[in-house]
Chain A
């Protein structure tokens, strides 16, 4: 049974060593661990691409066990996009393999001289850096295929694309699903550029097991895992909605609510939304021999991913709601085939789909590309791989594109592009966008605890009242869930079943041989948020950074004709806990 350890790689000296995990980190995982390590080891004012930043990759607290849907991985560091702390969360198969090798976290640190690229290979026998100049410049799909041919057909490949190599601030870190699709992104915040700055092109993880991470109390754990599986299988979100249509089932719903950002956040409805919806996606995918449902990692019972065959013979797996929106209605593009091609290129070049879509929207606002012109968008995106000036602007994110082209209608917070929900049509999420330490992030306030409904009851999405309390509770619960390795989509099964949270706590208790309560869970969530917030304050952030762009206050959003009117002084109360 592997002993839990840190794998620390000094990329300047090429020293690779395993370390005993200090006691304070022993039960942490996922976001709690990446954020705490970044807080403890990275100087907040450092250059994100310089020698003092670190890239931390950590499986969740329960990853690598047979707890269902627990194979999420966190990637953390100081963000080159926001200048603040960042945790980006991904599915894929790497998390479970790392946990099965007993690796609590991989820490990439230092900054190498010279231009040589390396690959970090991690196996049960140890870890080593291998020269990888032959992989440089290649897209993530090809890198993953080469590594799986070279090191075994079942290895996990964590990698960056050309965007990460070029240190572009919209570059993400990806890893593959069981089929070898390199599309499971820790996409947000430019952590791909941090990995690129360390000159690590890929991390290959080879583990013979997937579900055998050590358990202190195995029988208790198995019973709790069975119970949690049942909880997920009994809830309509995790047993019906997600498995049938994936996350893109949200397209029609958010459009109906009038909160679907359309034409770079000018309108709240897109009249052709149904053409790019989850329902349409399932129809086309199945007709072409793809799949409407597919797991992003082994042991996921929700299977919200999909396999969308493209007309050019390639496969985009998956097209998720956020990507479909960013590359679709946000650009007034109404073709899933065009969206799929843009999504595939983002995956291959190593770009965050949300940031890329928001940036293309700003470029369309500037008149560089016409709104609705899918072919022009594809051509522009292809420039990223060639490293042209326009390509580098696209890879640098919406805030940079706005500055370069003199656009004021730029939907970003802390330099990060807003995701697929207009904050004027749903003000609670606007509070989260404004105040999350991550920058505008739709997943930051996702998990829900029962007390929200008791305390908050019904909060009118079009009114400012009650939104701060709602956002605060959501952010705390989410910070905890992001640490467990569970997918955020378990949140509603947990909310609706009074045994949900106690069962998660039981799993953690049995895994680590401790007594972990629901109160401990919320305390952990708060601790994570406080560490992240403190890092940002030390990095120079102020309350002025916890604001939405001005136009959300000034410009009404049709069809409800609302503006974002949560008061600044109320936004400043979110972290008052």
Chain B
């Protein structure tokens, strides 16, 4: 069974604590799963997720996930030049 290690930051962390999830959470993924489908399935409002890290790199929300990936959801409103440097803009 394929799984990813899931984190979320800032205001999205509240979703984890409200649901009693561990941090990070181990989440099962299905064939063809992407960060976009994952957030939909988990009921995480996509408009609240500005960027997605997969294995420490900012990736598009439709990038295919693999077993063992480290995934993190970044909320809207993170400051700093890294919005550009890490690709929050370029990977929209």
Contacts and interface: CB of A to CB of B under 8 A. Distances in A.
B64 interface: no
Contacts of B56: 256-258, 269, 559-560
Contacts of B83: 237, 448, 492
Interface string B68-92: 0000101111111111111101110
B7 A257 contact: no
**Most chain A Cβ neighbours within 10 Å, of B78, B79, B90:** B79
Given A236-B77, A258-B56, A252 B9 contact: yes
A452 interface: yes
Given A249-B9, A459-B90, A492-B79, A236 B50 contact: yes
A428 B10 contact: no
A225 interface: no
A241 B78 contact: yes
A244 B11 contact: yes
A385 interface: no
Given A249-B10, A279-B9, A254 B82 contact: yes
Give the dominant DSSP class at A's interface: helix
Interface in A190-235: 235
B85 A426 contact: yes
B58 to A, nearest CB: 8
B9 A237 contact: no
Nearest to B80: A250
A370 interface: no
Nearest to B90: A458
B78 to A, nearest CB: 5
B29 to A, nearest CB: 19
A559 B76 CA distance: 25
A256 B7 CA distance: 9
A402 interface: no
A241 B84 contact: no
B38 interface: no
Interface in B38-54: 50, 53
Contacts of A452: 84
A555 B87 CA distance: 24
A253 B84 contact: no
Interface in A4-44: none
Interface in B1-26: 7, 9-11, 13, 23
Contacts of A421: 82
Contacts of A258: 56
Contact of B79 (A250, A252, A559): A250
B76 A240 contact: yes
Contacts of B90: 453, 457-459
Contacts of A560: 56-57
A245 interface: yes
Nearest to B13: A279
Given A453-B89, A458-B90, A461-B86, A245 B10 contact: yes
A279 B74 CA distance: 13
Given A236-B50, A256-B9, A279-B9, A241 B85 contact: no
Contacts of A457: 90
Interface string A431-467: 0000000000010011010001100011111100000
A283 to B, nearest CB: 10
B55 to A, nearest CB: 8
A496 to B, nearest CB: 9
Contacts of B76: 236, 240-241
A491 B74 CA distance: 19
Interface of A: 235-237, 239-242, 244-245, 247, 249-250, 252-254, 256-259, 269, 274, 277-279, 304, 421, 426, 428-429, 442, 445-446, 448, 452-453, 457-462, 470, 474, 489, 491-492, 559-560
17 contacts: A249-B10, A253-B9, A256-B74, A258-B56, A421-B82, A426-B82, A426-B86, A442-B81, A446-B80, A453-B89, A453-B90, A458-B89, A458-B90, A458-B91, A459-B84, A461-B86, A474-B84
Given A458-B90, A559-B56, 17 more contacts: A236-B77, A239-B77, A241-B78, A242-B79, A249-B9, A250-B79, A256-B74, A257-B58, A257-B82, A257-B86, A259-B86, A269-B56, A279-B9, A279-B10, A429-B81, A461-B87, A492-B83
